[in-house]
Amino acid sequence: MATDPLSIRVLVVDDEPIAADAHSVYVQRLDGFTLAAVARNGQETLRALADASTSGEPIDLILLDMNLPDLHGLDVSRRIRAAGYAVDIIAITAVRELQIVRGAISAGIVQYLIKPFTYATFAEKLANYRQFRLQLQTQESAASQRGVDQAFASLRSPVEAALPKGLSEATLAAVVALLKTSPGPVSATEVMEQLGMSRVTARRYLEYLADQQSVRRSARYGTPGRPENEYTWLR
């Protein structure tokens, strides 16, 4: 959208057509993200980065599969760093070996998303990443310690404690993703309409987040009918 303060151009990298198509559709469903290109292997990834840089519309984020037919994802990451591209990488892979996870961290990969996953989990990860970018964007030329801490905290899931009975992590993640990517406050009615749940259920999740001090609850004025609260993401 033209008023969006941050539009993130995404390169999807996966050699499996079904996975690549699914991740591409996921990206296009999220506000604040634009699908720039799809690559099927490591060499295509490097070419896509070069082409985007030359065109003046560089890639901001790569969703990178680790198991590619020509290069391992870690090798791709290292080549990207060696070439000097200022791009962030989220690993999307079924690889769970600790050695690979450690290698991903050392290669500058900002998040690690293990297959299989739901759209809600995907949306939460990217919403966290976007919040990270927004936090850094608000810093002045010299970042403060508090500002950097808040930015990196955005990459972590806000839901670590056990949830109350009747609440699910997947649904909560979807609500959080909606709040994080919304350009303004949202109401229970708007959550209901966008996520396909009842208004009562939407309000339960929003009130839970308000109790956790993850959102600010305030009254919405000027709407017909009974008064309604609206909720703004804080973290």
156-212 pLDDT, tens digit each? 555 445 677 888 877 888 888 888 888 889 999 999 998 888 999 999 999 988 887
Going by pLDDT thresholds of 50, 70 and 90, the confidence category of residue 3 is: very low
Please determine, for residue 152, whether its predicted confidence score (pLDDT) is greater than 70: no
How many alpha carbons fall within 13 Å on the CB side of residue 166? 7
Is 8:34 a contact under the CB 8 Å cutoff? yes
Going by pLDDT thresholds of 50, 70 and 90, the confidence category of residue 90 is: very high
Judge whether 8-117 and 151-233 match in fold. Answer: no
Does the structural domain 151-233 have CATH classification 3.40.30.10?
Answer: no
Going by pLDDT thresholds of 50, 70 and 90, the confidence category of residue 134 is: confident
Q: Residue 224's pLDDT is what? A: 65
Q: Residue 144's pLDDT is what? A: 52
Domain boundaries, the chain: 8-117, 151-233
pTM: 0.63
Least trusted range by pLDDT, from 67-71, 75-79, 150-154, 182-186 = 150-154
Amino acid at 60: D
Q: Which fold has domain 8-117?
A: Rossmann fold (3.40.50)
- Eight-class DSSP state of 72: B
Q: Please state, as a whole number, how many other Cβ atoms lie within 10 Å of the Cβ of residue 107.
A: 19
Q: Give the span between the Cα atoms of 74 and 109, in whole angstroms.
A: 9
Q: Residue 223's pLDDT is what? A: 62
Q: Give the span between the Cα atoms of 141 and 137, in whole angstroms.
A: 10
pLDDT tens for residues 24-48?
A: 999 998 989 999 999 999 999 999 9
Going by pLDDT thresholds of 50, 70 and 90, the confidence category of residue 104 is: confident
